[in-house]
Amino acid sequence: MTFYIEKDTEEAEIFSKTMTFHVENIMESVALAVLEEEACPYEVQVNILLTDNAGIQEFNRKYRELDQETDVLSFPNLEFTHPGVFEIAPQQEAACFDPDSGELVLGDIILSVDKVREQAVSYGHSEKRELAFLTAHSMLHLCGYDHLEAEEAAIMEAKQNKILELLNITRDN
């Protein structure tokens, strides 16, 4: 797996340097756990941008036409017929795989470090747990899951909880 993390704001840099845990390691561990649980048959590439509330609001406005902050945005590179089923039509292969590495380009994640901090306080758990949760949530979106319907939301929630339990990232730590 190739995992690219970029920080586009001073706040993202500070967040990464001041945490009591290694931000990149947590995100990569969660991403790998999701891919394992989903039985992804490919080596993948995931791009992550850490930003602040102003930055994510701009991306939300530009790509979703919603002029508001959010915690995380996910941009899957694949169109899934069924969530978690990694079937790629031959005519789509050129657009889905990195020609240099041969890896499946799964998609992009944009995450607000401000929201990680805010929501950790609001939900009464650690920033590590909130970061892991948002990473799991976004990775599941990259694997074709959504939460628009109650049934879909329940499936996603169960998968997120399972990943965090597997990694022993609880509300207590």
Domain locations in the chain as residue ranges? 2-166
Among residues 25, 33, 20, 32, the alpha carbon closest in space to that of 126 is found at 20
The residue ranking higher by pLDDT, 93 or 116, is 116
pLDDT recorded at residue 90: 87
Query: How far apart, in whole angstroms, are the C-alpha atoms of residue 103 and residue 166?
Result: 25
pLDDT recorded at residue 34: 98
Query: How far apart, in whole angstroms, are the C-alpha atoms of residue 41 and residue 35?
Result: 9
C-alpha dist (Å) from residue 126 to 76, 93, 116, 129? 27, 40, 9, 5
The CATH number that domain 2-166 falls under is: 3.40.390.30
User: Does residue 92 register a pLDDT over 90?
Assistant: no
In this predicted model, what pLDDT tens digit does every residue of 2-17 receive, in sequence order?
A: 999 999 999 999 999 9
Quote the percentage of the chain above a pLDDT of 90: 93
Taken as a whole, the chain contains a residue count of 173
pLDDT recorded at residue 101: 95
pTM attached to this predicted model: 0.96
C-alpha dist (Å) from residue 138 to 2, 40, 101, 107, 145? 16, 15, 23, 10, 9
DSSP 8-state secondary structure symbol assigned to residue 1: -
pLDDT recorded at residue 21: 93
In this predicted model, what pLDDT tens digit does every residue of 14-68 receive, in sequence order?
A: 999 999 999 999 999 999 999 999 999 999 999 999 999 999 999 999 999 999 9
pLDDT recorded at residue 157: 97
pLDDT recorded at residue 173: 60
Give the CA count within 13 Å in the CB-facing half-sphere of 145. Answer: 23
